[in-house]
Structure 1
Amino acid sequence: MGRRCLRVSRKMALRGLKVIDCATLFAGPLAATVLGDFGADVVKVEHPKGDPARSHGYAKDGVGLWWKMLGRNKRCVTLNLSTPEGQRIFRELAREADVVIESFRPGTFERWGLTYEVLSRENPGLILARVTGFGQKGPYKNRPGFGTLAESMSGFAHVTGQPDGPPTLPPFGLADGIAALATACAILIALRAREATGRGQVVDLAIIEPILTMLGPQPTVYDQLGIVQQRSGNRSVNNAPRNTYRTRDGRWVAISTSAQNVAERVMKLVGHPEFIQESWFATGRGRAEHADELDEVVSRWIAERTQDEVIKEFEKAGAAVAPIYDISDIMRDPQYQALESITTVDDPELGPVKMQNVLFRLSETPGEIRWPGPKLGEHNREVYAALGLDERDLKELSAKGVV
């Protein structure tokens, strides 16, 4: 899995697709990672100082661990796009590319002479994916844009947390991750359109939008009923019982009763079938309005049993339950092991490294992790040689701060 082999299996769906990833941090680069996992030739263009993701989060012996996952399946080159020579080299790279992914503040690519009009003049089939916090237009377009701001402005933080507590942000890049998947999807849609028209186009993705879509019907509910959803902790406004519950051995489980028949099974299991006869129990919304009553009997039953006992009894009853896992639990879980959700990749700096596998399984064109995140500028010679630059050229460009 971790061999430094640039050959791509003929069975990989995106074999032959050439992608330039000059985005920074997470949303744009993760979209490129997804494409690379399924065979795209991704060239990561970084400033000579390196992408900030290389030093983000935990490190071992000075080697950034997040980068190993984010930079996998990418060939890494350095290039200073703020210099005229860097811009010229970038245009040469883009001339042969199918996709360019960038995440600079709106107007930056234009200031560098790298507009879509310029890039597409010699490559009319190019897809330019622009991933920014607030999109390419509007009053906020020039604001710094990070996932945290999207989680705040999308309504996510407002509905997350306990009713009497503050709005709560996720402790990881949720909005960036959702935006990355949306970007990868948008690129594939644009490529499909290119098959029909022969022309590329610009993808304008604002990180504030995909996470808003994930929040469900809130805009429609507000439009039609004037209701603003409030924080409800781990409860749902749409059904109950739905919460996290502590077991006798101090561990936790979560249950969901989105389906009516599952809600009925839960109440029978915990010894209170009489609730099922209540008129309000017949709808998820009605059950949510009586969440205190339902949680009381469910939590009492769960508190009398260990986590293993609770899961065993729920499974026997055909009710939905899951343990609350930390990452150590995930690494040991037999279902994740059966799916090979966590895989081991050989890394020349760290040795064997475990990380998330490719996102999904395809029966005929599976994805693959061919190598983890490379060193800064590791592929300069290889990539730039294809543009006619030799060792002496690279030394001169390095001395000028271009690569």
Structure 2
Amino acid sequence: MSSIHASTALKRFRVLDLSRVRAGPTCVRTLADFGADVIRIEPPPGIDPNEAMFAADRWSGDFQNLNRNKRSLTLNLKKPEGREVFLRLVATADVVVENWRPDVKTRLGIDYESLKSINPRIILASISGFGQTGPYAKRPGFDQIVQGMGGLMSVTGLPGQGPVRAGLAVADSSTGLYAALGILTALLEREQSGEGQWVHASLLHSQIAMMDFQAARYLNDGDIPVQAGNDHPTSSPMGLFDAADGKFNLGASGEGNWQRFCKAIGQDEWLNDPDFGDEKLRVRNRPRLTAMIQKIFSTQPVAHWVALLNEAGVPAGPVYTVPQMFEDPQINHLGVARTVPAWQGGERSFITQPVTLSRTPADIARTAPGWGEHTDEVLLEAGYDTAAIARLHETGAV
């Protein structure tokens, strides 16, 4: 048996992972890193026409990072024998996670009501592009589609540039995290009620939630957010500046930081300039202020200004490439990257969980599984004998 738990925090929970691509696996990875027994359930090779997109290249860094700490069971849910295996697993599981289109689980007979009839304590987490109901419920959804519909592309990029996608999968990743939060909340509530429930998360709602202050500005103040480039839309001086040898970010927002900033760069007289008397004035007069700051910053290298400003208590930092990022001493100190041996031989490197628990921290116990690597193992745990397992293989159910 290889039920290795990455942590003891969620060790008592079993999660059946039907998800694929990014949002769902991100959600389940969070649970796996904190010790849940996660069984990744995927079709046998050759069943799904899209398998090359989400299952075939199991050695890639992306697949490995999304699916570490999981076991793999192949199961053809379109076959009665495969569905029977799944429902037997549901009877003793705590959580099922899926990110199909809303109607698929109903067609397969594994919707929430069906699962609840087998295990009233089960929590079904359904992740979708646009929600489980409504006019767009059956639409397919990808991260970039939702970045556009959720407003992010309208505020990303330089002024007048036109819509720009963010350089990472904001909608996918945030949806996965919101779904994990929903699952953990449902597990906590179950301790009181004894009942499971259906957790919904959608890329569209999550993307809009990530718009946060930008969306709140419009809803409450009528301000329509637009592209502000590298300048903060409501704070100044806060943005990207040029030093003598490169660019760095400055965050001198708020009166305290503004005063410390002026004193640190030897410009106390700016504190008495009527154009800069408060945050709103500094935003309104940003072009003049930026030109004055830029003239000073161009005289010294990035390292000089970052050190000087941080010493004065003013937020500032360099702009790294990804390789430079992983060379930073604080990033190394935080243990952001972790390398572990791989079952295929060699090793793989991962991004660790960004939240630390003092007694039961998340960990990475193993790399992502081979396709169906734990099929027989999981079936034995579910009570199937070797002859029954052989028949399931023969029928193509696993």
- Shorter-chain TM-score range: over 0.9
1:238 match: secondary structure = coil
Q: CA deviation at 1:280?
A: 4.7
User: Residue 352 of structure 2 aligns with which residue?
Assistant: 357
User: Residue 85 of structure 1 aligns with which residue?
Assistant: 81
State the distance in 1 between where 2:197 and 2:287 align.
Answer: 52
Which one of 213, 231, 255 corresponds to residue 217 of structure 1? Answer: 213
User: Residue 341 of structure 2 aligns with which residue?
Assistant: 346
Aligned residues with identical type, % of pairs:
31
Does residue 6 (structure 1) correspond to residue 3 (structure 2)? The answer is yes
State the distance in 1 between where 2:62 and 2:319 align.
Answer: 24
User: Residue 369 of structure 2 aligns with which residue?
Assistant: 374
Range moving further from structure 2, 270-279 or 82-91: 270-279
Q: 1:57 to 1:22 in 2, by over 3 A?
A: closer
Q: CA deviation at 1:365?
A: 1.2
Which one of 99, 105, 111 corresponds to residue 101 of structure 2? Answer: 105
Q: 1:295 to 1:49 in 2, by over 3 A?
A: farther
Does residue 149 (structure 1) correspond to residue 164 (structure 2)? The answer is no
State the distance in 2 between where 1:160 and 1:359 align.
Answer: 25
Range moving further from structure 2, 260-269 or 375-384: 260-269
State the distance in 2 between where 1:357 and 1:85 align.
Answer: 38
Does residue 300 (structure 1) correspond to residue 290 (structure 2)? The answer is no
Q: CA deviation at 1:183?
A: 0.7
CA RMSD in angstroms, aligned pairs only: 2.3
Q: 1:315 to 1:193 in 2, by over 3 A?
A: same
CA-to-partner distance for each residue in 1:207-250, whole Å, 9 max, x for gaps?
1112212222344433444321111101112111111123322x
Tell whether the 8 Å contact from 1:33 to 1:71 is kept in structure 2 after alignment: yes
Letter of the 1:205 partner, please give it. A
Q: 1:274 to 1:36 in 2, by over 3 A?
A: same
User: Residue 131 of structure 2 aligns with which residue?
Assistant: 135
2:171 match: secondary structure = helix
Structure 1 residue ranges without an equivalent (≥5): none
State the distance in 1 between where 2:159 and 2:51 align.
Answer: 35
User: Residue 263 of structure 1 aligns with which residue?
Assistant: 258
TM-score by length of 1: 0.92
State the distance in 2 between where 1:339 and 1:71 align.
Answer: 22
Letter of the 1:338 partner, please give it. H
Q: How does 1:227-376 map to 2 (within 5 A)?
A: 227-249=223-245, 251-349=246-344, 351-376=346-371
Tell whether the 8 Å contact from 1:24 to 1:53 is kept in structure 2 after alignment: no
Structure 2 residue ranges without an equivalent (≥5): none
1:332 match: secondary structure = coil
State the distance in 1 between where 2:291 and 2:180 align.
Answer: 44
Letter of the 1:148 partner, please give it. Q
CA-to-partner distance for each residue in 1:94-140, whole Å, 9 max, x for gaps?
11110000000011100011121111112101110000010101100
Tell whether the 8 Å contact from 1:79 to 1:402 is kept in structure 2 after alignment: yes
Does residue 160 (structure 1) correspond to residue 137 (structure 2)? The answer is no
State the distance in 1 between where 2:328 and 2:187 align.
Answer: 38
State the distance in 1 between where 2:141 and 2:266 align.
Answer: 51
Q: How does 1:175-194 map to 2 (within 5 A)?
A: 175-194=171-190
CA-to-partner distance for each residue in 1:60-94, whole Å, 9 max, x for gaps?
xx822211111111011111222222222111111
Tell whether the 8 Å contact from 1:28 to 1:180 is kept in structure 2 after alignment: yes
Which one of 113, 126, 146 corresponds to residue 122 of structure 2? Answer: 126
State the distance in 2 between where 1:297 and 1:281 align.
Answer: 12
Letter of the 2:88 partner, please give it. E
Q: 1:172 to 1:398 in 2, by over 3 A?
A: farther
Q: CA deviation at 1:22?
A: 0.4
State the distance in 1 between where 2:33 and 2:165 align.
Answer: 29
Tell whether the 8 Å contact from 2:20 to 2:54 is kept in structure 1 after alignment: no
Letter of the 1:356 partner, please give it. I
Tell whether the 8 Å contact from 2:10 to 2:36 is kept in structure 1 after alignment: yes
State the distance in 2 between where 1:193 and 1:154 align.
Answer: 30
1:77 match: secondary structure = strand
Q: 1:71 to 1:223 in 2, by over 3 A?
A: closer
State the distance in 1 between where 2:20 and 2:45 align.
Answer: 12
Which one of 368, 380, 383 corresponds to residue 385 of structure 1? Answer: 380
Range moving further from structure 2, 365-374 or 304-313: 304-313
State the distance in 2 between where 1:94 and 1:326 align.
Answer: 45
User: Residue 41 of structure 2 aligns with which residue?
Assistant: 45
Tell whether the 8 Å contact from 2:341 to 2:347 is kept in structure 1 after alignment: yes
Range moving further from structure 2, 12-21 or 388-397: 388-397
Letter of the 1:32 partner, please give it. V
State the distance in 2 between where 1:309 and 1:58 align.
Answer: 48
Range moving further from structure 2, 204-213 or 71-80: 204-213
Tell whether the 8 Å contact from 1:54 to 1:64 is kept in structure 2 after alignment: no
Does residue 201 (structure 1) correspond to residue 197 (structure 2)? The answer is yes
Q: CA deviation at 1:345?
A: 1.0
User: Residue 65 of structure 1 aligns with which residue?
Assistant: 61
User: Residue 27 of structure 1 aligns with which residue?
Assistant: 23
Tell whether the 8 Å contact from 2:159 to 2:228 is kept in structure 1 after alignment: yes
CA-to-partner distance for each residue in 1:345-382, whole Å, 9 max, x for gaps?
11132512221112221111111111011111111011
Tell whether the 8 Å contact from 1:25 to 1:53 is kept in structure 2 after alignment: no
Does residue 18 (structure 1) correspond to residue 14 (structure 2)? The answer is yes
